[in-house]
Amino acid sequence: MKCKHITQRSYQKQAFLYCRKDKKQITYDNCRKCLKIEYRQYKPIKKKSNKLSKLEKQRFSILTNDLKHCFACRFFKEKEINKDDLHEIYQGKNRQVCMKNGFVAPLCRECHESDDIKLWLKKICEQVYLKNHTKEDFRKLVENDYLN
């Protein structure tokens, strides 16, 4: 049900529905027939900010110039990918740092799910970045060191 007063509770590992308005245990049929039913208000999904969408459009990679083929399996087979399948190598709070500094690699869906390939990419990316910068610069950006 989408009534804002209904919740699921449990007592001694037995789940049941509870109405907070009537303060009693109920069933779905009781809730449907209820005259006090109030529906939940859902907020719309946030749209991407202009700043973030601009960053995503301008993504580049310090690892490769070819952003149309999978970086991990390009040696074995040519897999074309969408622009949406670009993988930010250091995820989470470092996503925007990755987009600004080129820590991006094109990956197909199979390679994207492999933890071994992700770790391999982190090490390669750090090696490439350290050719022109210092370790301190890298640690300021990513706060981690993958070569040790």
| DSSP line for 29-58 | HHHHH-SS--BPPPPPPPPPPHHHHHHHHT
Note whether 20 and 56 are same-domain residues: no
Task: Decide if 121 is inside a domain.
Answer: yes
69, 137: one domain: yes
Pairwise CA distance, residues 83 & 72, whole Å: 16
| 67 & 109 share domain | yes
Does residue 85 lie within any of the structural domains? yes
Domain that holds residue 95: 50-142
Q: At what angle do helices 115-130 and 135-142 cross, to 10 degrees?
A: 140
Say how many CA atoms lie within 13 Å of 118 toward its Cβ.
Answer: 12
Q: Is there a single domain that holds both residue 63 and residue 32?
A: no
pLDDT at res. 89: 92
The whole-model pTM stands at 0.64
> What pLDDT digit, counting tens, does each position of 74-133 carry?
766 777 787 778 899 988 888 899 999 999 999 888 888 888 999 999 999 999 999 999
Residues 75 and 125 in one domain: yes
CA angle centred on 8, ends 2 and 32, rounded to 5°: 40
135 and 112 in a common domain: yes
- Please determine, for residue 1, whether its predicted confidence score (pLDDT) is greater than 60: no
Q: Is the same domain home to 54 and 20?
A: no
pLDDT band at 16 (very low <50, low <70, confident <90, very high): very high
For the chain, how many structural domains are there in total? Answer: 2
pLDDT digits (tens, 9 = 90+) for 52-67: 888 888 999 999 898 8
Query: Does some domain include residue 148?
Result: no
The position carrying tokens 């996503």 is 95
